[in-house]
Amino acid sequence: MIQKKIREKAKELLEKKVVDLIVGFGEWTLPLRTTPIFIRTPEGADHLIWNSFCENNLATYLHKFSHFKVGVVVKGCDARSITALSLEKRFKPGQLYLIGVPCQRMVDRRRVKKAVKGEILRAGEQGDQIIVEGEDFKTALRREDFLYPSCQVCIHRTPRQANVLVGDPVEETPMVETHPEIKEFEKKSPEERWDFFEKESSRCIRCYACREVCPMCYCAECFVDSSNPKWIEKSLSPSDIEFYHIVRAYHQTGRCSGCGACERACPMEIRLTYLTQKLNQDVKELFSFETGIEAETPPPLSTYDIEDRQEFIK
Amino acid sequence: MNLKLNKKDFKPFLQTLMDEYDLFAPVQLTEGVSVYKKIDHPGEVDLSTANPQKPMKEVFFPQSETMFRYEKVGEQNQVVSTEEVKRERIILGARPCDIQAVSLMDEVFSGKEYTDVYYINKRNITTIIGMACGHPFSTCFCSSTGGGPFLRNGSDLFFIDLGESFLVEFLTGKGMTFQKNKFFGEASTEEINLAKALEEKALHKTDASVPVKGIEKRLDLMAESPFWDRVHEKCIGCRVCTYLCPTCHCFDIVDEALTNKGQRVRNWDSCLSSLYSLETSGHNPRPTNRERTRQRIMHKFNYFPKNFGRIACVGCGRCILYCPVHFDIRQAINWTSAKRLKLQRGEPLTNP
């Protein structure tokens, strides 16, 4: 039982004072969701939970606790973000203790909600099914049909860099070879691609939830917030919105673990991962590099070598 | 007087409104995401979702609004103010929570101390057709915040969905002028009774137990409470809750300038943003998320009541539904009334 092991490990770490606090997932008020929680006492560890709704990337919170020793519950993608952040020297050696969970892939709550009529009041899991209940219905859905796109393509579900694994490693194969939206996107002409991007980003309300949930977005001052120099205006004009989205995606190249947190955070359901995952795919093809897999290899776009390919210079 | 509108006449009815007014109503942008927008074709109106993501405030107080434009022509500076909106407007399909929220915004934008021409212009020329909330969500707590799913306050006309038709109530002088619309017919006693039954049912469904009563006084004592150290912890500092809040009304005025011309624009602002209280010197009196979360809660439940005698929350539940990390304002309110929070011992804040 993964949940039991997470609690035991968390309790032990807090009792032995290996860490000051544990960042994990807890139960909250809405069905199909969990919430990030922060545990500081051994007794508190019993609030930690594990299920298919642990969709947040908890690596984001580590920036907040730079003065503490932190234990953190991680999925494969969260651990990859942490490795990438370590390469960017965001943590002191030995500051973190990763409680690694081989991930079962997370459930896309929005798709579940759209699949049933009426409000879901209770949700749970039974084997390979998600059971959702409302006022006058109870339905079982096949879990496999409701996984996040980023989870469907995920290969590295077992957190390699974890200090401890609380479950058996899972196989390193994706459910689907290519991100379904990238496949569609690649078929389009440049004009159609732009139309798609324009249509998606037109819903943006500039709440920056995609930026704030992302563990890799930690710049002390984001370029959109800078007033001197001013790179971008703050209103809802399409060109400013599009500029933000393009720069956000490009800034992730070779740094994004593909966790999909940005897309899940968007209240306007703007599709975002087709951009970042496409860039990930390109980096993999061009440089044989995947974010956060090797603890010592820096991302290709952050290094320089005289042997670098130069054919793009014309 | 109660009349009714058959749903089969709904689109032609909308057309009659559009002939004379600019019509604003919920429009679906993509599956599951909608906003209030100016309607070009009656078919765009989508009343299937209870509340669009973005609240009705946007019609009066757009997220980005140009106040005036300026240009230097030769040696002359020319300033052109944004034109007054002349064509009368109708908002259709607004839920009682959003309508309540606009009455709170009225306190700020057309209050005793300050009147905002941009807001008042649009507010004065708008007729509001409220829509009863027959199926409140489990996240709805309007009954706790002084509202209700069938609250008529603020509506000029009020529609109640009866399945095959809408029962139509005329609540103000402005609303009465619509009585002669050719698509309205006599409502039967059964239909009026059905509406009453639906109202009864909806009332039972919204959560009336969130302890907002007395919260202003409780928060008076909590400015420096360790409560804030914990309550903010999971907040990532995005602006979802404030931008989607029907009552949040903070704005930021900026000049969008090119070499010799530009425009002054006001954009929605958010107390959860690091820029919100950043001063020119670089000093920020609200340096972390802790102070920003406190500002959000305090403004709604302490400062606003102090200024206007009412809390600035209508219980629509959007901030709960759309928060990326599942912050639940109901819990924050609950905790302010907890007898003893085990904060010092560092235990997690859990469901009371």
In 3D space, the residue among B243, B202, B219, B224 whose CA is nearest the CA of residue B297 turns out to be B219
pLDDT of residue B64: 97
Structural domain includes residue A285: yes
Handedness of CA B342, B348, B217, B274 (dihedral sign): positive
- Residues A169, A228: one domain? yes
pLDDT of residue A178: 85
The whole-number pLDDT of residue B351 equals 46
Instruction: Confirm whether A31 is domain-assigned.
Output: yes
| Token pair for A156 | 């590295």
Strands B64-73 and B33-38: unpaired
Chain B residues close to A267, C-beta within 8 Å: 53, 240, 244, 322
Q: How far apart are CA B74 and CA B77, in angstroms?
A: 8
* Residue A60 scores a pLDDT above 90: yes
- pLDDT, position A221: 92
What is residue A305's predicted lDDT score, i.e. its pLDDT?
83
Residues 146-165 of A with CB under 8 A from B: none
Give the span between the Cα atoms of B73 and A193, in whole angstroms: 40
A130 shares its domain with A274: no
| Pairwise CA distance, residues B12 & B53, whole Å | 27
- Classify residue A307: in a domain, yes or no: no
Tell me: pLDDT of A258 over 60. Answer: yes
Nearest C-alpha neighbor of A186 from the set A287, A283, A290, A282 = A282
Q: How many residues does chain B have?
A: 352
The residue segments making up the domain with residue A133 are 109-146
Which residue is closest to A56 within chain B, CA to CA? B325
**B27, B32, B33, B34 alpha-carbon torsion, rounded to 10°:** 20
Are A283 and A253 in contact, with CB atoms under 8 Å apart? yes
pLDDT, average across residues B195-215: 92
Residue A288 lies in a domain: yes
Contact B18, B183 (CB under 8 A): no
pLDDT score at B346: 47
Residue A145 CB partners (closer than 8 Å, separation 6+): none
Q: Which two tokens stand for residue A202?
A: 């037109």
Q: Is the pLDDT of residue B244 over 90?
A: yes
The pLDDT value recorded for residue B230 is: 87
Residue B317 half-sphere exposure toward CB, CA atoms < 13 A: 22
Question: Residue A259 and residue A280: Cα distance in Å, rounded?
Answer: 12
pLDDT at A312: 76
Number of folded domains that form chain A:
2
pLDDT single digits (tens) B287-333: 999 999 999 999 999 999 999 999 999 999 999 999 999 999 998 99
Cα separation, B134 vs B149, in Å, equals: 7
Q: Is the minimum CB–CB distance between B251 and chain A shorter than 8 Å?
A: no
Asked if A242 and A198 touch (Cβ cutoff 8 Å), the reply is yes
Q: Which residues of A touch B252 (CB under 8 A)?
A: 234
On whether both A181 and A270 belong to a single domain, the answer is yes
What is the residue-averaged pLDDT of chain A?
Answer: 94
Give the whole-number percent of chain A exceeding pLDDT 90. 85
| pLDDT one-digit tens code per residue, A77-89 | 999 999 999 999 9
Instruction: Report if residue A57 sits inside a domain.
Output: yes
Please check the confidence at residue A215 and state whether its pLDDT lies above 90: yes
ipTM value greater than 0.90: yes
Closest CA to A137 of A155, A127, A122: A122
As a whole-number percent, the residues of chain A with pLDDT over 70 amount to 100
CB-based contact B256:B262 (threshold 8 Å): yes
Does residue A308 lie in a domain region?
no
Residues A118 and A26 in one domain: no
What residues contact residue B204 under an 8 Å CB cut-off, 6+ apart? none
A225 in the same domain as A167: yes
Which candidate, B225, B216, B218, places its Cα nearest to that of B302? B216
d(CA A149, CA A151): 5
If asked whether residues A10 and A65 sit together in one domain, one would say yes
Instruction: Give tens-digit pLDDT for B81-103.
Output: 999 999 999 999 999 999 999 99
A190 and A85 within one domain:
yes
Domain match, A71 and A101 both: yes
Angstrom CA distances, A46 to A11, A27, A40, A122, B110, stand at 8, 11, 11, 21, 51
Cβ distance A114 to B31 less than 8 Å, yes or no, reads: yes
The separation between CA A225 and the C-alpha centre of its own chain, rounded to angstroms, equals: 23
Kindly report, residue by residue over A269-303, the tens digit of the pLDDT: 999 999 999 999 999 999 999 999 998 888 888 88
The model's pTM:
0.95
Considering the domain architecture, whether residues A139 and A158 belong to the same structural domain is answered as: no
Q: How far is A40 from chain B (nearest CA, A)?
A: 5
| Contact residues on chain B for A121, CB-CB shorter than 8 A | 138
Residue A93: pLDDT over 70: yes
DSSP label at residue B100: H
Question: Which two structure tokens, joined as six digits, stand for A223?
Answer: 């370029």
Q: Does A208 touch chain B (CB under 8 A)?
A: yes
CA–CA distance, B274 with B185 (Å, rounded to integer): 54
Same-domain pairing of A113 and A243: no
Distance of CA B105 to the CA centre of its chain: 9
Check CB contact of B31 with chain A, cutoff 8 Å.
yes
pLDDT in tens, B39-53: 999 999 999 887 999
The domain boundary, picked from A124, A146, A168, lies at: A146
Would you state the pLDDT for residue B193?
Answer: 96
When scoring B240, B277, B290 by the number of chain A Cβ atoms within 10 A, the one with the most, hence best to mutate, is B240
Name the strand (E) or helix (H) holding A277.
helix A273-287
pLDDT(B337) > 90: no
Confidence of residue B20 (pLDDT cuts 50, 70, 90): very high
Measured in angstroms, the CA of B50 and the nearest CA of chain A are apart by: 11
| Claim to verify: residue A48 and residue A187 sit in the same structural domain | yes
Could you tell me the sign of the dihedral formed by the alpha carbons of A210, A213, A214, A220, in that order? positive
Is A216 within a domain? yes
Cα–Cα distances in angstroms (integers) from residue B186 to residues B162, B195, B232, in the given order: 14, 14, 54
Q: Is the pLDDT of residue B339 over 80?
A: no
Angle at A26 between CA A24 and CA A30, to 5 degrees: 140
For residues A135 and A27, membership in a common domain is answered with no
Cα–Cα distance, B209 to B333 (Å, whole number): 11
Over 50: is that where the pLDDT of B352 sits?
no
The verdict on residue A311 lying in a domain is no
Gap from B237 CA to chain A (nearest CA, Å): 7
Q: Check pLDDT > 60 for residue B334.
A: yes
